Amino acid sequence: MTASMQGKTVLITGANSGIGKETAVALARVGATVVFTSRDPQKGEQAAADIRQRSGADVTLMPLDLASFPSIRALAADFLQRYDSLHVLINNAGLVLNERTETEEGFETTFGVNHLGHFLLTQLLLDRIKASAPARIINVASNAHRFARGGLDFDDLQLTNGYGGWQAYGRSKLANIYFTRELARRLEGSDVTVNALHPGGVNTGFSHDGDVRAPFSWLFTLAKPFLRSPEKGAQTSIFLASAPEVDGVTGKYFADSKEEQPTPIAQDDEAARRLWTASEELIAQADA
């Protein structure tokens, strides 16, 4: 059973479908004030209606395009104006692309959305999160970080010298774990915890939104009978957002609601610090 979330405000990115949507339903059912984001307004409104119907609670939809710094800043400003507290931030949105594209600011899109956009959003909301402590930040990573066997190429974070969709995705998920570890270190003593998770192979719309085309979409279709439902895929996100058992637990990686060890490369705290510095520099350059 999910612990009561009465009096808790939760923000979930990309919760118009899949595990984000199921996380929103579950947390709203147990009393959380749930705010979720969607890049597509129509899909967001449809999701909001479904979440309300299934949870019996009201939820709030806010627009967010993580490939746009102005959109990220607008979302943060709107949230901070409307809500006095933020107890749980779930950085859930993500994508995989089989062709290289760029965000508004010129970053490779998989890196820009899956890591850098969430990095910026979290920074913009961090003071409110700390003021709401005890609070939790949850980053939806993936065992796909294992694809990044050589770690991150800090000389080519934007993958300009050769692009592969799974390579880009794996590196972005490794970046999620690095971000988790370094942010947890920086927040020691603040009563704000930061953890990452692997949701498992989940049967969602992840590969069917026009982002993934053949051959990647075929792989997802072939794997569909072996994938877990979105409800099951959301369980670790729900656990990390609500379970008393993880009070004070920070900087860890979870799967199936249990702590697991990521790859040795993912435990490289010097690389995590280096990514943090590089991320700050990239954002500063975009704002210049």
Exposed/middle/buried for 156, CB within 10 Å: 0-12, 13-18, 19+?
exposed
Q: Which tokens sit at 239?
A: 């656990």
Number of neighbours of residue 93 by Cβ within 10 angstroms: 25
Q: What is the pLDDT of residue 3?
A: 85
Query: How far, in Å, CA of 16 to CA of 198, rounded?
Result: 19
Q: What is the pLDDT of residue 200?
A: 75
* Pair 199, 236: CB distance under 8 Å: yes
Query: How far, in Å, CA of 23 to CA of 15, rounded?
Result: 8
Q: What is the pLDDT of residue 227?
A: 54
CATH architecture, domain 9-287: 3-Layer(aba) Sandwich (3.40)
Closest alpha carbon to 12 in 125, 110, 102 = 125
Q: Which residues lie below 8 Å from residue 60, measured CB to CB, with a gap of 6+?
A: 33, 34, 35, 36, 48
Domain ranges of the chain: 9-287
Cis peptide before 215 (omega within 30 of 0): yes
Looking at the annotation, which residues are catalytic?
Answer: 169
Closest alpha carbon to 37 in 85, 100, 119, 94 = 94
Which residues lie across from 12 on neighbouring strands?
Answer: 36, 90
Residue-wise pLDDT tens for the chain (288 aa)? 678 999 999 999 999 999 999 999 999 999 999 999 999 999 999 999 999 999 999 999 999 999 999 999 999 999 999 999 999 999 999 999 999 999 999 999 999 999 999 999 999 999 999 999 999 999 999 999 999 999 999 999 999 999 999 999 999 999 999 999 999 999 999 999 999 999 975 444 544 443 444 445 444 444 444 455 778 889 999 999 999 999 999 999 999 999 999 999 999 999 999 999 999 999 999 998
Q: What is the pLDDT of residue 182?
A: 98
